[in-house]
Structure 1
């Protein structure tokens, strides 16, 4: 009898526990309705309100996720002091700080609040109130785009922010005063802004820090002061990566028999001056390290004038005394590799990358095979370095006679074909096959016109991974022709080379310098997609239209007003 009573007590206890446990109801139709807001304290639109606690009540049980990251609050408050919790069907926000006087606050809850059943999110949930007698109502809107296409075409986690002119923070150091998020197409609209002057920025906030990480995240800015005394629309931002951290020589020291110069950042330009350069002194770059070699100098030093530039234009111009010492350390293995092979139509062109400067080539060991037993011997005048100062990238252009009917050719370099400046040979043979394409399998002429008078222009055809297939540099005309392009879906783009260094340059926020414009050919029949289909045997003529420039596309009234303000400021100065 006692055992029976004991079992009954356990059963009753389990029933009570299961009834008390909050869980998703079993069965029934799926809940697709988002939680409905029942009450809000203070009410949205309230005036003269300085709440210590904000409450939101819904018609069902809810939860909150990452509130301190997800809730966008303008103007800026210290979100580290804020406490957010969900209790049954209520969200309670303890601000734990004083709010500014005569200020309109906007709490944009985004996807912070969800129901506990299906994670449904209330749409466009906002709280707007003022600590003063009126609600600020000015807006700042426009579009954000990437300079180069991203793998994910939708604009996720892209923010736009305004900083007051007296703010000690900027996009790289802290959250903005006003903040908003773009939609999936890059459009944004910041609301309830107080009239005044601001600095404007946009960035991809992948880590939810509410500021840009200069080494990792794309960002952009409007260089001029933004005067918001009426609604501002048609602002245009372009995002790109720009590392503004200090550019310096971290270390310069011997490394075995060689000498290493270790930099803080990757250099895009390297100039070394020494009387023995490419005679006895050579160098190579490996990421942020420049390694210098000397064939004869041992237990002595030589002066090297080093002039280098990073991606944002910062320069180092210094004199370094490189010392070369005898060492028992094993020399680095010499490892050449053939870069990804390409199909060809007339000349077979291939690139060989070396991990150390190349000193000598045994041309007797280089051939191109075809038709099983037939070969073409490589001649010295078919080879050249794309950068003769580093001698680490060798190009071989091999003319293939039309009389050869074969379509497949194989380049072969035997072991010991190449010798580096330390006297080491390649230990393994190199081999790579190439396919010759018939002219009828290629596009005939692709004529590209860029609708701008600004020169010079770098015109490129790339694949979908942004690898450059063909490139022309225009200095006197805005039109060019590409021949013998392999069919496929490509991008066609134009880079305005404003500093004439024959490459694209990113922005420099500290110098108020925008990145160089990049214009893509858009397909009007495919929702302005950047994809261009190139077909065999086709002759194509296309026109690339410039993008909207960075800044605000002002109407004539706004333009006249801004010019008047600038004139008044100049008079005051």
Structure 2
């Protein structure tokens, strides 16, 4: 019996010693790991240049959480060979490299929140380890804040990876390499670049979406200063704004779409000339809106016997103002393709707005005299025209009365593209909504931009819900759906009809952006009045009154197609 008890106790002791994990019972551990030693002397100066590893010992077992995302080494080491722990926990952190360290240089290993204890996951927050190959550790710093003025709808679900880097100012600076100094910003945009040496630098902030510590033009947001930074003393409170970066102009691809072929470009070409290099394809139309990334080649496949029985290699030449080239695509007619109409904006029509129908083809001609608009079995007068801003839309205007139901009938062959027409009739049923379901926004701008601008109302999901383009300082948005909106101004500084993003390599800032300091809530039957002084530091005033006598007569201009890119 005693022998069995002894064996049982011995088994428990061995099991408890063999396992590294969370202790059972007792107060929850809330203390992060503590450094107890390193392989580098405590003075951390005159470190040999041929040292190939950094080892840091801790008072408890640790693991590394997203170390590749959090760890930033300045200046960067090019040839990393090992980082431990990896997988199993242990009581030390080990980093190995093959580089020979630079002379008289301070190296800073910023671990962010990657070092956590193995029991409760308590992070050793923003831990830095610095040492110098010279006789002193550089101690200058730059701190400040990053702010993204243009939201990215595609990245709302994840935390942006914002970094700030310094490049040494030389005759030729290679921005395709990692910055000489680099630091990760907090989620709120605050950043610190520490252990800096005196010198002249270029500063660059960017959203490092692929975590490679290198700025990717056209893919990542960017912020920078045009002037060099002469660093001879500490700098704090530096403000950097992040903007979408400008893509280099280039051809991307060509593919079959209903009605023809779609060519896509990057960089917003002003004008693209396209010519067919095919004997069979001689009759075609090319459409391209200035500064658009899409070019469409429309043609009658059946009439010209192109891609009917088998796939055919179609060749085209293009000139986008930057490059002339020849491209091709294997084309075969999709027999399911047809010109179609839809009511993409729903069957509830806000007061005093046009009813809009949309086509998947460029609309070249309509015959509204053959259409009918009926309410309560009575035909209504109306006018219809192809939208000047979007040739894929037709806008129908009438004296729509609140609360009334309408039915619009569009017979077949009354809406046409260049080589196609609708082959069936369409009926669109909708209802004109009541004013009491909407609110009004009256906005007065003080110190408004001298150039023309877009004033936009953004919904909570970041989409442009309402937009006006002009120079008016007194603006009224009627029939606004209830909800919370952000107000934004994009200035068309160069008057080219689009908002231009930032070009770091070309040294061009993005065009001006203003963000109203708080969201505005629109309520049914309320008229919200606001004053916005765009002069920095000016106060903003907001007032709201029930709009019991609102009589909207002016339809709100809908966003331009290009607004969706902002």
- 2:341 corresponds in structure 1 to 336
Instruction: Give the structure 2 partner of residue 419 of structure 1.
Output: 416
- 1:538 and 2:527 are equivalent in the alignment: yes
**2:505 alignment partner, SS class:** helix
In structure 1, C-alpha distance between the alignment counterparts of 2:47 and 2:299, rounded to whole Å: 71
For residues 199 and 168 of structure 1, the distance between their equivalents in structure 2, rounded to whole angstroms, comes to: 12
Structure 2 distance, partners of 1:90, 1:141, is: 31
Q: Does 1:113 align with 2:115?
A: yes
The answer (yes or no) to whether the contact 2:114–2:124 under 8 Å persists in 1 is no
The corresponding residue for 1:143 is 145
Question: 1:46 maps to what in 2?
Answer: 44
Alignment of 1:484-523 (within 5 A): 484-486=478-480, 487-523=482-518
Q: Kindly tell me: are residues 375 and 187 of structure 1, through their superposed partners in 2, closer, same or farther at Cα, counting changes over 3 Å?
A: farther
Partner of residue 473, structure 1 = 469
Task: Specify whether residues 335 and 266 from structure 1 end up closer, same or farther in structure 2 by C-alpha distance, changes over 3 A only.
Answer: farther
For 1:351 and 1:270, the matched residues in 2 are separated by 28
Per the alignment, residue 309 of structure 2 pairs with none
Partners of 1:146 and 1:257 in 2: how far apart?
38
Q: Gaps spanning 5+ residues in structure 2: where?
A: 276-282, 307-314, 538-566
8 Å contact 2:262–2:297 — kept in the other structure?
Answer: yes
Separation in 2, partners of 1:304, 1:260: 11
Q: Any unmatched runs of 5+ in structure 1?
A: 275-279, 309-314, 524-530, 549-573
Q: 1:435 aligns with which of 422, 432, 436?
A: 432
Q: CA shift at 1:287, angstroms?
A: 6.9
Deviation at 1:295, TM superposition (A): 9.8
Deviation at 1:66, TM superposition (A): 4.1
Question: Offset at 1:177?
Answer: 0.8
Query: What root-mean-square deviation, in Å, do the aligned CA atoms of Structure 1 and Structure 2 show?
Result: 4.2
Matched residues, number: 512
TM-aligned CA deviation for residue 48 of structure 1: 1.4
Residue 63 of structure 1: how far off its partner (Å)? 1.7
Question: 1:229 aligned to 2:232?
Answer: yes
Aligned-pair CA distance for 1:237: 2.3
1:135 and 1:102, CA in 2 relative to 1: closer, same or farther beyond 3 A? same
Name the CA distance, whole Å, in 2 between partners of 1:328 and 1:216.
Answer: 34
**C-alpha distance in structure 1 between counterparts of 2:432 and 2:265, whole Å:** 42
Q: Look up the match of 2:395.
A: 396
| 1:491 CA displacement | 1.7
Which moves more between the two structures, 96-105 or 409-418?
409-418
- Tell me what 1:21 maps to: 19
8 A contact 2:403–2:434 mirrored in 1 = no
Q: Secondary structure of the residue that 1:61 maps to in structure 2?
A: strand
Q: Which residue of 1 aligns with 2:460?
A: 464
Instruction: Name the counterpart of 1:239.
Output: 242
Aligned pair partner of 2:200 in 197, 201, 206: 197
Contact persistence 1:24–1:116 (CA under 8 A): yes
Q: Report the CA distance between 1:515 and its aligned residue.
A: 1.0
Paired residues of 2:364 and 2:416 also in contact (CA < 8 A): yes
Q: 1:460, 1:470 within 8 Å by CA — same for their partners in 2?
A: yes
- Report if the CA contact (8 A) 1:470-1:482 is conserved: no
Within the alignment, does 1:159 sit opposite 2:163 as a pair? yes
TM-score, normalised to structure 2, is 0.76
Change in Cα spacing, 1:374 to 1:30, as seen in structure 2 (3 Å) is farther
Correspondence list, 1:165-564, <5 A? 165-166=169-170, 170-171=174-175, 173-245=176-248, 247-248=250-251, 260=261, 262-265=263-266, 267=268, 269-270=270-271, 281-284=284-287, 288=294, 290-293=296-299, 308=320, 315-316=321-322, 330=335, 332-341=337-346, 346-363=351-368, 366-371=371-376, 373-376=377-380, 378-379=382-383, 382-387=384-389, 391=391, 393-400=392-399, 404=401, 406-414=403-411, 416-427=413-424, 429=426, 431=428, 433-438=430-435, 442-444=438-440, 446-475=442-471, 479-486=473-480, 487-523=482-518, 531-535=519-523, 536-545=525-534
Specify whether residues 258 and 148 from structure 1 end up closer, same or farther in structure 2 by C-alpha distance, changes over 3 A only. closer
After TM superposition, the score normalised by the length of structure 1 is 0.76
Shift of 1:408: 4.1
Post-superposition CA distance 1:255-308 (Å, at most 9, x none): 79987463443746556599xxxxx753356975522336999599xx999665
Compared CA separation, residues 411 and 266, structure 1 to 2 (3 A): farther
C-alpha distance 412-36 of structure 1, shift in aligned 2 (>3 A): farther
Shift of 1:32: 1.9
1:132 to 131, 134, 140: 134
Instruction: State the Cα distance separating 1:179 from its structure 2 match.
Output: 0.6
Contact map agreement 2:147 2:240 (CA 8 A) in 1:
yes
User: C-alpha separation between the residues in 2 aligned to 1:231 and 1:284?
Assistant: 55
